[in-house]
Amino acid sequence: MFEKALSGSRRYWTLVFILLALVGAGFFFYLRQLSDGLSITGMGRDVSWGFYISQFTFLVGVAASAVMVVLPYYLHDFRAFGKITILGEFLAISAVSMCVLFIFVDMGQPFRIFNVFLHPSPNSMMFWDTVVLIGYLLLNLFIGWATLGAERKGVAPPAWSRPLIYISIPWAVSIHTVTAFLYAGIPGRHLWLTAIMAARFLASAFASGPALLILLCMIVRRYTRFDPGREPIQALGKIVAYAMTINVFFIALEFFTAYYSGIPSHSHSLEYLFFGLEGHGSLAPFMWTSMGLAALALTLLINPSTRHNERWLATGAAAVFFSTWLDKGLGLVVGGFIPSPFESITEYSPTVPELMISLGVWAIGFLILTLLYKITVAVREEA
């Protein structure tokens, strides 16, 4: 099937080469990071995780695109999703690949990565996160490839793919839960030390993953002869609307507990993120942008008349995507480190090499996505 990715229109190849160029640029900066160390990033002893881990955290959420189409289709027999389950699964593959790469580029000693498997440490949530992420990647690879292959031959998917599909549903929940546990079990980082962290991760994942999937479905429809149809896109819109509502509700819950309890350490990070603390507040504009986008998204998605209009739906989906990206892919991780354990404030901003490496990883992800979608579309166009 892979040969289908090797022939395509001029537009397809242009996209592939642009992505390859970005990958190359990112790789160039990564080589610099290898030789100079992580000092070329904006991280430091106070904010010791930055853009890379933020992107990782956000992208784990995007991988939820798969479960949100697989679950209704296979458990509730929601036929409309039949055409797009594969798109959701392939998006998950691309997102999880980026997650793995973001962890990798964040490591100080990348050549020692196998120590994670040579010295497995079940007490570490990082260990479990590696396990569930790699498992999820493999599950989606097998399922996606098997279903697409079967579709091409016009037969039913192989019997072994069924149990895998059922496993993949709780497994998807596990990747968000375990990733949330990375943060939620750490004493002394009050922004993270919240029992609803895993619930927040699930809500924002179920919003951001399907939101991106909506946009991708529209792009596929626009540029290829494969049409996912109006119904699944509308159904996804409803899912995003609910999930985003819950996500925003959860954020409000955090504010209530932090401020009403009046315990200073519990509100410090939120204070820093949204209002600035002791004159430092460089993330506040981003956080308010995130909130603004969330408000816009909710308005557009909850209101049936705008949601039914595909233009507005696309705007709403994009707003959800960028709102959660700012909130989770920037504020959540960095905010946890501010103020420091000494209650001093060191601000963080990514550097150009750091952004370029991140862009390179995103480009790899989109390259994987492009190739997989190209294959899918070619198979569908044949049918």
Partner 1 sequence: MKYDKNYELSRREFIRKAALLGLSVGGSKTLMEVVFGDDILAASTDENPATVRWAMVVDMTKCSRREDCSDCMAACHRTHNVPAISNRRHEIKWIWREPFVNAFPELKEGRLRKDLYGAGFIVLCNHCDNPPCVRVCPTRATWRRQDGIVMMDMHRCIGCRYCMAACPYGSRSFNWMDPRKILDEKAINQDYPTRTKGVVEKCDFCAERIDRGMLPVCVEACKEKALVFGNLSDAGSPVSGLLAGRFAIRRKPELGTRPEVYYIV
Q: Using DSSP, state whether 360 is helix, strand or coil.
A: helix
Number of Cβ atoms within 10 Å of the Cβ of 119: 8
Span from 142-150, 183-191, 226-234, 274-282 in contact with partner 1 (CB under 8 A): 183-191
User: How many C-beta neighbours within 10 Å does residue 321 have?
Assistant: 23
**What character string, x for contact with partner 1 (CB under 8 A) and - otherwise, covers 251-270?**
-------------xx-----
> Does 282 contact partner 1 by CB under 8 A?
no
Nearer to partner 1, 232 or 329 (CB): 329
Alpha helices by DSSP H, the chain:
10-36, 51-62, 65-70, 85-106, 115-118, 125-153, 161-184, 197-223, 230-261, 264-270, 284-302, 304-308, 310-326, 333-336, 352-382
Which residue of 21, 113, 295, 352 would you call a contact of partner 1, by CB under 8 A?
113
Please tell me the count of residues contacting partner 1 according to CB under 8 A. Answer: 46
The DSSP secondary structure of 9-44, one letter per residue, reads -HHHHHHHHHHHHHHHHHHHHHHHHHHH-GGGSS--
Question: Quick check: helix, strand or coil at residue 280?
Answer: strand
Q: Candidates 10, 45, 76, 222: give the one binding partner 1 (CB under 8 A).
A: 45
Closest CA to 64 of 256, 231, 209: 209
Name the residue nearer to partner 1 (CB basis): 108 or 163.
108
Site membership for partner 1, residue 349 (CB under 8 A): no
Is residue 130 at the binding interface for partner 1, with CB under 8 A as the rule?
yes
How near is the Cβ of 52 to partner 1 at its closest, in Å? 10
3-state secondary structure of 373: helix
Give yes or no for residue 354 binding partner 1 (CB under 8 A). no
Report if residue 278 touches partner 1, rule: CB under 8 A.
no
- Please identify which residue in 21, 186, 219, 295 interacts with partner 1, judged by CB under 8 A: 186
Q: Which residues pair with 277 in a beta bridge?
A: 280
Tokens of 100: 């793995």
Does residue 109 interact with partner 1 by CB under 8 A?
yes
Say whether residue 88 binds partner 1 (CB under 8 A).
no
The CB density around residue 17, as the number of other CB atoms within 10 Å, is 10
| 8 vs 135 by CB, closer to partner 1 | 135
Residues 190-229 within binding reach of partner 1 (CB under 8 A): none
User: Which residues in this chain contact partner 1 in the complex, by CB under 8 A?
Assistant: 36-39, 43-46, 48-49, 103, 106-110, 112-113, 115-116, 118-119, 121-127, 130, 182, 185-189, 264-265, 336-337, 340-344, 346
